[in-house]
Amino acid sequence: MESVQAIKQRFGIIGNDPGLNRAIEKAIQVAATDISVLVTGESGVGKESIPKIIHQLSHRKHGKYIAVNCGAIPEGTIDSELFGHEKGAFTGATQTRSGYFEVADGGTIFLDEVGELPLTTQVRLLRVLENGEFIKVGSSKVQKTDVRIVAATNQNMFEAINKERFREDLYYRLSTVDVHLPALRERLDDIHLLFRKFASDFALKYKMPTIRLADDALNVLLNYRWSGNIRQLRNVAEQISVLEKNRTITAATLSAYLPDVGSNLPAVIEKTKKDGDFSNEREILYKVLFDMKNDLNDLKKLTMELMQSGNAQDVQQKNQGLIEKIYGEADSKEPEMEVLPVPQPTETERSVIPTTKDRYDYAEEVEEEETLSLHDKELELIKKSLERHKGKRKLAAAELGISERTLYRKIKQYDL
């Protein structure tokens, strides 16, 4: 078994960070097996190196190695790319095509950005992982493949599972072994080492002297956040190598190539609306409406008692808690509050004052009407959204902030 240092030299990996070394150790240990591996880490940390190490150290090294960027393939064609299709399976399918899983039989497939896979494709991939079987698009024939799968993602997979964007069973099949690569800001001792390597490479490539960092520039380099990780560091080194005539780089010069440098304030990131945000806002609105309805019913009850009793002070004493709830504790205990006399109803007016039974019947009727009103509002929103999207439930569900399954249940419930 090759050492970590030998592997780093062989694959051009720069750095001595313990987290990086541990990731390479894991890759070496699992290479001889056929278990699936999930490589995690932020974008730009070099996740593509791990599957290459695993493939080259495995018994499949003489087989095909295919890297697939799942996020770059359109949803409508990804099944065809991965599993192939039969002639005439869809418009433009003028001939039978072999997919990656057929071509890479006996080799390794690297699925980069696996979190971007559509749910239908995830089902097909799960079948390959479980029994090595797949079916071409437009075919009914089951085919076998012997492929080692290594996947990578920069997403929070548990969050994607909770939002039903990724299948939990597929996640556990992919992540039999999880190899995590640390972010560049967590590898402080490696930052300058990497910068010097990039500067040397670009000096050789563009046939010019190598750039060097002054002491103050080195402090800027080490204290910067590097949100783009190694990819961003390489980009900055290349820009400076090409554009700067003075080959000794100062802090001011380096800072000009780093966005938001020198700001110690936390970044304010505008949050885009997530799938469940609309639903949460609607729930809050419903709660406010129900609270208002309860307050209104309490007011009706207080008014009825006041009309029947005719003694405002007596009513206030009996309903002190209710008054505090409606008007607030400070207002209910105001010592200077003037109690106005309530005019006594005449015989004619008294005859139309509802009895206790009538009042409860009326309250139930009001509550039923208001509940129906909320029902109608929800029904109206669903109808409008379906009409706007010409009956496409997926688009309507996204606009309403609910899942397609919930929308389908609502459609059946309201008989739309």
Q: Are strands 133-135 and 142-144 parallel, antiparallel or unpaired?
A: antiparallel
Cβ burial, residue 136 (10 Å; 0-12/13-18/19+): buried
Residue 309 pLDDT class (50, 70, 90 cuts): low
CATH level 3 topology of 186-255: Helicase, Ruva Protein; domain 3 (1.10.8)
pLDDT tens string 135-183: 999 999 999 999 999 999 999 999 999 999 999 999 999 999 999 999 9
Query: Average pLDDT over the chain, rounded to whole?
Result: 83
* Residues 68 and 112 sit within 8 Å (Cβ to Cβ): yes
In 57-118, which residue ranges form alpha helices assigned H by DSSP?
78-83, 100-103
pLDDT tens string 342-380: 555 555 555 555 554 555 454 444 444 444 456 677 778
Angle at 37 between CA 35 and CA 39, to 5 degrees: 170
pLDDT tens string 380-393: 888 888 888 888 88
Residue of 204 and 342 predicted with greater confidence: 204
Structure tokens at 406: 């919930």
Helix, strand, coil share of the chain (percent; to 5):
55, 10, 35
Cβ burial, residue 143 (10 Å; 0-12/13-18/19+): middle
Average pLDDT of 315-336?
56
Q: What is the CA radius of gyration of the chain?
A: 34
Range of lowest pLDDT (23-27, 84-88, 124-128, 325-329): 325-329
In angstroms, rounded to a whole number, what is the distance separating the alpha carbons of residues 290 and 363? 14
What strands lie across the sheet with 177-180, from one edge to the other? 65-69, 108-112, 148-153, 37-40, 177-180
Contacts of 256 (CB under 8 A, 6+ apart): none
Average pLDDT of 254-282?
60
Over 70: is that where the pLDDT of 234 sits?
A: yes
Residue 190 pLDDT class (50, 70, 90 cuts): very high
Q: Supply the pLDDT for residue 320.
A: 67
Quick one: residue 260, left, alpha or beta (phi over 0 = left, psi -120 to 50 = alpha)? left
Q: Which of 41, 44, 42 is nearest to 236 (CA)?
A: 44
* Residues 143 and 134 sit within 8 Å (Cβ to Cβ): yes
Residue 292 pLDDT class (50, 70, 90 cuts): confident
In angstroms, rounded to a whole number, what is the distance separating the alpha carbons of residues 413 and 397? 15
Range of lowest pLDDT (131-145, 229-243, 291-305, 336-350): 336-350
Three-state SS string across 257-298, please?
A: CCCCCCCCCCCCCCCCCCCCHHHHHHHHHHHHHHHHHHHHHH
CATH 3.40.50.150, domain 4-182, yes or no: no
pLDDT tens string 79-124: 999 999 999 988 888 999 999 999 999 999 999 999 999 999 999 9
Average pLDDT of 402-409?
79
Question: Which sequence spans correspond to the domains of the chain?
Answer: 4-182, 186-255, 277-310+341-414
Q: Supply the pLDDT for residue 381.
A: 82
248-262, 322-336, 342-356: which has the highest mean pLDDT? 248-262
- Alpha carbons within 13 angstroms on the beta-carbon side of residue 97 total 20
Residue 76 neighbours by CB distance under 10 Å: 9
Q: Supply the pLDDT for residue 86.
A: 94
The percentage of the chain sitting over the pLDDT mark of 70, rounded to a whole number, equals: 76
Q: Supply the pLDDT for residue 23.
A: 97
Q: Supply the pLDDT for residue 314.
A: 66
Residue 318 pLDDT class (50, 70, 90 cuts): low
Residue 405 pLDDT class (50, 70, 90 cuts): confident
Residue 329 neighbours by CB distance under 10 Å: 11
Structure pTM?
0.63
Q: What are phi and psi of 380, to 5 degrees?
A: -65, -40
Residue 44 pLDDT class (50, 70, 90 cuts): very high
